[in-house]
Homo-oligomer: A and B are copies of this chain.
Amino acid sequence: MPLVRVTNFAISLDGYGAGEPQSLEAPFGHAGMKLHEWRFATWRPGAPNGVDALFGRQYDVGFGAEIMGANKFGPPGWQDDPDWRGWWGEDPPFHTPTYVLTHRPREPLEMEGGTTFHFLSTSPADALAIAQEAAGDLDVRIGGGATTVRTFVAAGLVDHLHLAMVPLVLGRGTLLWEGLEGLEEQFHIESVVAPSGVVHLSLTRRSPDA
């Protein structure tokens, strides 16, 4: 059965998935690229084929659709700009139908490389049903940001999360853990530290009879 998964979601030691304030110039706020450098490092020539690379490479394997939040799709106010087409240029790295949750939906945007952005104002469960229909036999990725991830997890809709905990303290931004008290009762939690210092957490939903 296809799964609903979060992969390569980066957080700080104190649980922030992005800094603040988010803007066109600073999509991750004061966090800059710090939460993502470990992954960029795996793309450099000669980079070790180790823990970071293995997790990083999972990013786009097996997905037939993505769901993301409005604040991942663009900076505050993008809804007022009819020409905003996302951060990622004409060939975004999703290559699947991609559902943007926003209270101000617009017409779909067909990009190159298989990505089509659809804009939805609906409940997490309904958005997921739509994305699963599009994904067919493949998994659905909950792509972030933190608000969207925690909403879907709290609603019991996520089967697996891979979180990359980066050894820094952001102090402010959007929090992942809020509202997830007792998550360990629903998920088996396994961790491994990469030589980069990143702690990779794999959270796997416990089966009801385990």
Contacts and interface: CB of A to CB of B under 8 A. Distances in A.
A13 B16 CA distance: 12
How many copies of this chain are found per oligomer?
2
Contacts of A170: 181
Interface residues of A, number: 24
Contact of A167 (B15, B180, B189): B189
A192 interface: yes
A191 B184 contact: no
Residue of A169, A170, A177, A179 most packed against chain B (CB within 10 A)? A169
Interface string A159-199: 00000000111111000010111111000011111000101
A171 B153 CA distance: 14
Residue of A13, A14, A201 most packed against chain B (CB within 10 A)? A13
Nearest to A13: B177
Contact of A199 (B15, B171, B184, B193): B193
A191 B183 contact: no
A193 B189 CA distance: 12
Contacts of A182: 168-169, 171
Contacts of A171: 177, 179-182
A119 B197 CA distance: 39
Contacts of A15: 13-15, 177
Interface string A58-78: 000000000000000000000
Given A14-B180, A171-B182, 17 more contacts: A13-B15, A13-B177, A13-B201, A14-B177, A15-B15, A167-B189, A167-B191, A168-B189, A169-B180, A169-B182, A169-B183, A169-B184, A171-B177, A171-B180, A191-B193, A191-B197, A193-B199
13 contacts: A13-B15, A13-B177, A13-B189, A14-B177, A14-B180, A167-B191, A167-B201, A168-B184, A169-B182, A191-B197, A193-B193, A193-B199, A199-B199
Interface of A: 13-15, 167-172, 177, 179-184, 189-193, 197, 199, 201
